[in-house]
Amino acid sequence: MSTSNIRVTDLKPLSSPQSFIDSQPISAEIAKVVTDTRAAIENIEQRKDDRMVMLVGPCSIHDEKAGLEYAKRLAAITEEVKDKILVVMRVYFEKPRTTVGWKGLINDPNLDGTFDMQTGLERARAFLIQVLSLGLPAGTEFLDPFTPQYLADLISWGAIGARTTESQTHRQMASGLSMPIGYKNGTGGSCQIAVDAMVAARSPHAFLGIDLEGRASVVNTAGNKAQHLILRGGASGPNYHEESVILASSLLESAGLRPNVVIDCSHANSNKDHNRQPIVFRDTIRQRSAGNEGVIGLMLESHLNEGNQSLGDPAELKYGVSITDACINWETTEELLREAHATL
């Protein structure tokens, strides 16, 4: 009588991370974009680079054609503002859900519930290579602890989300990641959860994972000191205002951490209203230009066209419109980036 896998309906073998890397290798030029951007973000965190870092792009990637059109537009304006702003494109393939819903391109690339994750990983890696070939660095949230082995060589900045910041699994994973990591405050609004995560991720860890051949392994890490706190608001309301930033900075300093914060213009900071993102954006720029060097960056959810739409028939989806959180449109994004550049 079997006592295991009673509720498992199927197990499908997945190709090893190394096979993905071998079939979709990165060029020397792409590797340079990744490493240079990682170093630049660390320099911003250490106040050796006085630019702001801005994580800009769609809430999630569901249509690579629209995503690449967006990337080409963003790459062009990145050149205009690069002396004051380090732009990193949001390239999010994994979406945590409060209950249920579409979990991202890796989980369900065909948008139809077939969950072809082998194809999802292949398409995600191919899209990242296209973005980086434009000279545009990419940032993403890491959700599944196996995903970094497949994609992390292409990522310049990573996030641990509000739902997973308290997770020991994600704190351990972050301790071994090769890029700077932002830790979001919890969904309830607690910054202490994220500060605790940062302290934990700075330390060495040993945990279960996979190696590049896909074998179950004990992973030993050195700890990751390239980190900052992301303020995204919570159930208690927004936390982008000056008083909230001062309080968050104090918590970081009390824990022996650099008082570096990145402000998320979306989520609870905009009360989930994409039209309020510019308000948060402008207040963040005001705080930085007023002399708060600890406000090292911001996040902006933006797509070709504004708003969002429900995932129904994939053939009937509007082009360049998010199927997860509502985004501002390209025209507004362009205006905000140029305005921030002029102010800074």
Distances in Å between the Cα of 257 and the Cα atoms of 39, 53, 185, 249 are 19, 19, 15, 9
Full domain range(s) for residue 110: 40-343
Decide if 187 contacts 162 (C-beta within 8 A): yes
Instruction: Give the number of other CB atoms < 10 A from CB of residue 53.
Output: 26
The pLDDT value recorded for residue 99 is 79
Does residue 97 lie within any of the structural domains?
yes
The pLDDT value recorded for residue 149 is 98
Enter the DSSP assignment of 308. B
Cβ partners under 8 Å of residue 161, min gap 6: 96, 141, 143, 184
The beta-strand segments (E) located in the chain are: 52-57, 85-90, 138-141, 157-160, 181-184, 206-210, 216-220, 227-231, 261-264, 295-301
Does residue 5 lie within any of the structural domains?
no
The pLDDT value recorded for residue 94 is 96
Does residue 11 lie within any of the structural domains?
no
How many residues does this entry show for the chain? 344
Residue that is written with structure tokens 């890397």 in the block: 21
**Gap between the terminal Cα atoms of the chain:** 68
The total number of structural domains in the chain stands at: 1
The pLDDT value recorded for residue 339 is 98
Residues in the chain predicted with pLDDT less than 70, given as ranges, are none
Does residue 140 lie within any of the structural domains?
yes
Residue 99 class from Cβ within 10 Å (0-12 exposed, 13-18 middle, 19+ buried)? exposed
Q: Which of 298, 291, 293, 312 is nearest to 340 (CA)?
A: 298
Does residue 175 lie within any of the structural domains?
yes
Distances in Å between the Cα of 29 and the Cα atoms of 32, 70, 129, 261 are 5, 21, 11, 30
Does residue 2 lie within any of the structural domains?
no
Q: CA-CA distance, 296 to 33, in Å (whole number)?
A: 20
CATH number at residue 255: 3.20.20.70
Q: What is the residue type of 235?
A: A
Distances in Å between the Cα of 226 and the Cα atoms of 66, 162, 175 are 32, 18, 10
Instruction: Give the number of other CB atoms < 10 A from CB of residue 313.
Output: 8
Does residue 16 lie within any of the structural domains?
no
The pLDDT value recorded for residue 100 is 81
Does residue 75 lie within any of the structural domains?
yes
